[in-house]
A and B are shown apart, each in its own frame.
Chain A
Amino acid sequence: MTSPLEQKKIKIAGPSIVTANRTWDGIVVYRTAAKSWSADLSEAAIVRNSDEAKALLAESVADDVGAIGPYIAPVQVGADGKIEPGNLREQIRRTGVTIGQSAQV
């Protein structure tokens, strides 16, 4: 995971969001436009250039009690506005393990 400090020089190649883990229980959350956190990716604030990304990340880092380890992650935004994770890691974070663990879970 790239830490916020390592993301000081932020370059984004496409639509991106800020994601983190909620502090009290650790679940995956996304920064919203309402300066809050949501477990629903569809509510994530989309940034499209480095300045926007930097600002959203700075705001997220400042909310240290709400969530930890915020970082910028790529997303794909469909023509209908639907947001999908931009890589396998984020896909797994959103939908869970890929190992069919019905016996355990």
Chain B
Amino acid sequence: MYAYDEIDRTLVNERVSEFRDQVRRRLSGELTEDEFKILRLQNGVYLQLHAYMFRVAIPYGTLATNQLRALAHVARKYDRGYGHFTTRQNIQFNWIKLAELPDALEDLAKVGIHAMQTSGNNMRNVTSDQWAGVAPGEIEDPRIWSELIRQHTTLHPEFSFLPRKFKIAITASDHDRAAIKIHDIGLRLIKNEKGETGFEVLVGGGLGRTPFIAKTIKHFVHGRDILSYIEAILRVYNQYGRRDNIYKARIKILVHELGIEKFSREVEEEWQHIRNSSLQIDDEVIEDIRSRFSYPPYEKLPHMPDELRQAAADPDFEAWRKNSVSPHKNQGYAIVTISLKPIGAPPGDATAEQMDALADLADKYSFGEIRVGHEQNLALPHVAKRHLPALWKALDKLGLATPNVNLITDIIACPGLDYCSLANARSIPIAQELTRRFANHELANLIGRLHINISGCINACGHHHVGHIGILGVEKNGEEVYQITIGGRADENAVLGNLIGPGVKFDEVADVVEDIVEAYLALRERPEELFMDTVKRLGVEPFKERVYATR
């Protein structure tokens, strides 16, 4: 966990007071909506179909139990008893009243949570690997650098009015769980030949209307220079990024139009002006941040405790363990992913009761820490293996032990037309129907790793472009129509999916996905060949034939 200092606490508290005054002036009519809109957006407050929506940041996906309880409290007191975890390590409340928002913010501020820069054309929540600090083979904890960037960019005047929103993600593992290649800046923490910490810097990734996979702009930037290098990128973007056309304003368009070589030359030139300035980071600064992260007092524990050996006789426990429990860097411990994708439920939703109960379980079994991943699931990062059977029983009672992590029912979906004012089509009911179709866990395991991503409009909050199966809802002649892509992925081998053919109607989507899956099962060369491998081997055609032969 990271402990905020007095400066952070003061900043967050002052922000609450400021926003309280802004809301008061808005409700009294002193501020018009045009004047107020940018202020509310800078505090994570959107207007959606039914109500205001309040987006709260969970920096690099790390939550303490008192923070999770505070989110449960906000869900219960100010909303309708649940929250929705998003694809960028945020949580959203869908029914909040503007008049009560300052109180909700104040309650969150007491535990160091805020909503600053969760919206607007500024630097958004810096995201990272939800297994940071505990993943085997990780180079070092990427959250230290995430926190450095968070501190530097929070309320930074130069980054508060960018041409468009700006998102950074950081990973420090070979396997990218932070989806860095679909971010404006992606940072891959590496060591150089001298053993010094630095980053491969990628730029210009993003989805939405015009998707791009990020390109490497520099193969190694020393850790001490990372702030100045990021700032150089942002300065070039601030100078050349388009402000006349919202659809061409993201940095990915600038990188594409200038070309990565020209863009990198511009950045390099800017960087030379500022790299030896106060932006160069002293080791003491990093060490100070590092010292504010606390790590559990791990014990020396056996790799295979008796409790785990005995529980292995229970097939339900084993199914969950094999699916949801992952290796930890310390022997005797495990990382437990908690699926927020129960069959038939909206992906990523958690009730206040679940959040409270999970906080209790995290106190009991995970040194008081919870993680949030971009796949809209949670994780307990420090569970002693001997506690896994007891934890599983407790999670099962809460409806939080669905053994479907990384399987076909572990669907990423945006809120879609049920909530979102930008959406053209519904996402959640499609996800619900698909989870019902593939509810049989034996079938889901037979299919193996398969990610479905659903977006209700071209803005792609459900990351459909990088779903193994991507589903994009659009509106055509007043009807919801869904375009299906296959072959996308968001990891270290990120690639955009390919369209398989004409869009299909709402009622046909689940049938089409079933057809694609049946085709895959028939076409794969062996059970270990994953869906993505089959698509890579054969391309789109055989799937297209299967889907459209009878339509």
Contact = CB atoms under 8 A, between A and B. Distances in A.
B417 A89 contact: yes
A64 B418 CA distance: 26
Contacts of B97: 24-26
Contacts of B28: 65
B33 A68 contact: yes
Per DSSP, chain A at the interface is: loop
Interface string B148-170: 00000000000000000000000
Given A26-B98, A87-B478, A98 B426 contact: yes
A34 interface: no
B102 to A, nearest CB: 12
Given A93-B49, A104-B81, 19 more contacts: A21-B47, A23-B98, A26-B48, A27-B51, A28-B50, A64-B29, A69-B47, A87-B478, A88-B417, A88-B478, A92-B49, A92-B417, A93-B50, A96-B50, A98-B429, A99-B429, A100-B432, A101-B346, A105-B80
Interface string A80-105: 00000001110011001111110111
Given A97-B419, A104-B81, A25 B51 contact: yes
Nearest to A65: B29
B32 interface: yes
Nearest to B30: A65
Given A1-B422, A92-B417, A26 B47 contact: yes
Q: Which bucket holds chain A's interface residue count?
A: 20 to 34
B488 to A, nearest CB: 25
Interface of B: 26-29, 32-33, 47-52, 80-82, 96-99, 345-346, 349, 351, 417-419, 421-422, 426, 428-429, 432, 478, 480
Query: Closest 9 interchain pairs by CB?
Result: A26-B51, A104-B82, A25-B97, A26-B52, A97-B418, A65-B29, A68-B33, A24-B99, A1-B421
Contacts of A1: 421-422
B418 A98 contact: yes
7 contacts: A23-B27, A24-B97, A27-B50, A28-B49, A92-B418, A104-B346, A105-B80
Contacts of B47: 21, 26, 68-69
B381 to A, nearest CB: 26
B426 A24 contact: no
Interface of A: 1, 21, 23-28, 64-65, 68-69, 87-89, 92-93, 96-101, 103-105
Contact of A64 (B32, B428, B432): B32
B421 to A, nearest CB: 5
B349 A24 contact: no
Contacts of B52: 21, 25-26
Given A26-B97, A64-B32, A104 B351 contact: yes
Contacts of B426: 98
Contacts of A104: 80-82, 346, 349, 351
A73 to B, nearest CB: 12
B511 to A, nearest CB: 19
Nearest to A91: B417
Contacts of B428: 97, 99
A19 to B, nearest CB: 10
B249 to A, nearest CB: 17
Contacts of B48: 26
Contacts of B429: 98-99
Contacts of A69: 33, 47
A95 to B, nearest CB: 10
A46 B99 CA distance: 30
Given A27-B50, A68-B47, A103 B418 contact: no
Contacts of A23: 26-27, 33, 98
